[in-house]
Structure 1
Amino acid sequence: MGKEKKGLSSEHPPADDNAEVQRGTRRRGTVLEDAILLAAWEELFTVGYGHLTMEGIATRVQTNKAVLYRRWPNKGRLIMAAMKKFLPESHKEVPDSGDLRTDVLILLRSVAEPLQIIGAETIHGLLVDLLDKEKISSIPSMLQTRGNSRINIAMKIILQHAQDRGDIHLEKITPRIISLPMDLMILEVFTRHEPLSEATLNEIVDEIFLPLVTGGRG
């Protein structure tokens, strides 16, 4: 009897693998994960974040939703993984055009571009799904400068170039000012629930950031 049970067990894989068996193939590892991420990305732009479900993604990829939940606890985490895979990478090289305003705008656009691609609904949905009420109430403290972030490091290099040209005095610029453009961008997205426009980026740079770092000298 024990052997018969063992034989039956080997013929009936776990429920979360049944869909893979029915397809006539057993996708595993990165092959399966890549297929899920692609399905999630396509489903996002087909139905929108508000109507996106783990079941819908599983149907598109032709597997069981339990397969998804084994890897990601909710649709927010799954979409974040898809964004990491499919959104264009921001500039890895620090801009050095010879003009402070141009360099800062290039840097900020590299951050804004992915937000414009995924759209306001997805941004808002992710904020709601990935931040509980306690975290939402602590957003101001979360927006404080992070000295080792890639954007802040790039901004420091841009400002160093500007000082080398004699445009600014870096010793008068505090860490809070250096992080200010990025903090304002995050705040805009969080409060307005929409991607950043070129006009908003220009206003952040021209009306707020540049006057602070140049001492109002243009």
Structure 2
Amino acid sequence: MTVTASGPDASAPAQRKRGVALEDAIREAAFAELTEVGYTAFSVEGVAARARTGKASIYRRWPTKQELVTDVLCEMLPSPDQAGITVDLDDSVTTHQALLGVARAIAGVITSPSGAAMRAIKCEAMGDPELARLVDERFQAPRRAALLSLLRRGVQRGEVRPEAATQLVADVIPAVLSHRVILQREPLTQRDIIDIIEQIFIPLVEVR
């Protein structure tokens, strides 16, 4: 005697995801793949298996592995506004306070699991020009622009020297924070962040 299951889900196969639901599933799978195996071992095949879809579905949306990875990072990591890197600040907020808030936000991102994935990508990008271009265009450029805007706001307030409101200077905060975490492999305490701003950055930009 054969026993057959009954009920609405007994014999029906799992419904395939489509559209936005499928794209979200692919991004989640790609992020899981990236954080677990790193960029070097990252594969579209692995993502497809995790998302329970075919490689063709992925390649139709993201023609290259690099584009998939950068899109996933941009979705998973906070935007400049979400990270507190914005010039839309109350007049009572000084440049010193704004930059300290930015440094704390950047430190929070780069020491998070998402930040660990981003650090791995940056290291791999050194040998992958296309990946480096995409990471810079999609992730780093908007943050550099926001930091530069904060410095220009400081100039208008009389708190930053005009000649210090440059892209080169704006790169200093993320560069120092990343150097400590990635190369020195040191933790970033609140005291460290305050010291970086007060001992390095403020003397670099303040009116003399």
Identity %, equivalent residues: 23
User: How far does residue 126 in structure 1 lie from its aligned partner after superposition?
Assistant: 0.9
Alpha carbons 1:124, 1:193 under 8 Å: kept: no
Residue type of the alignment partner of 1:149: A
Of Structure 1 and Structure 2, the greater helix share is in: 1
Judge conservation of contact 1:100–1:159 (CA < 8 Å) in 2: no
C-alpha distance in structure 2 between counterparts of 1:171 and 1:181, whole Å: 16
Give the 5 Å matches for 1:42-57: 42-45=32-35, 47-49=36-38, 51-57=41-47
Q: Which moved more, 1:85-94 or 1:52-61?
A: 85-94
Aligned residue number for residue 77 of structure 1: 67
Alpha-carbon distance between aligned partners in 2 of 1:189 and 1:209, rounded to the nearest angstrom: 15
Structure 2 unaligned spans of 5+: 1-11, 132-140
Aligned match of 2:197: 205
Question: C-alpha displacement at 1:152, in angstroms?
Answer: 1.0
Distance 1:62 1:37 in 2: 12
Q: Structure 1 residue aligned with 2:27, among 37, 49, 54? A: 37
CA RMSD of aligned residues (A): 4.0
1:15-26 correspondence to structure 2 within 5 Å: 25-26=15-16
Q: Report the residue type matching 2:38 in the other structure.
A: Y
* Residues 164-205 of structure 1, C-alpha deviations (whole Å, 9 max, x = no match): xxxx36345352564243463476279628697245533431
**TM-score computed with the length of structure 1 as normaliser:** 0.61
2:53 aligned partner: 63
Which 5+ residue runs of structure 1 have no aligned equivalent?
A: 1-21, 137-144
Partner of 2:170: 179
In the alignment, which residue of structure 1 is the partner of 2:156?
Answer: 160
**Residue correspondence of structure 1 range 90-129 to structure 2 within 5 A:** 90-91=83-84, 93-94=86-87, 95-96=89-90, 97-118=92-113, 121-129=116-124
Whole-angstrom distance in 1 between the partners of 2:181 and 2:85: 25
Secondary structure (helix, strand or coil) at the match of 1:149 reads: helix
Aligned to 1:209, the other structure's residue is in SS state helix
- TM-score, with normalisation over the residues of structure 2? 0.63
Give the number of the structure whose alpha-carbon radius of gyration is greater.
Answer: 1
* Aligned residue identity for 2:84: H
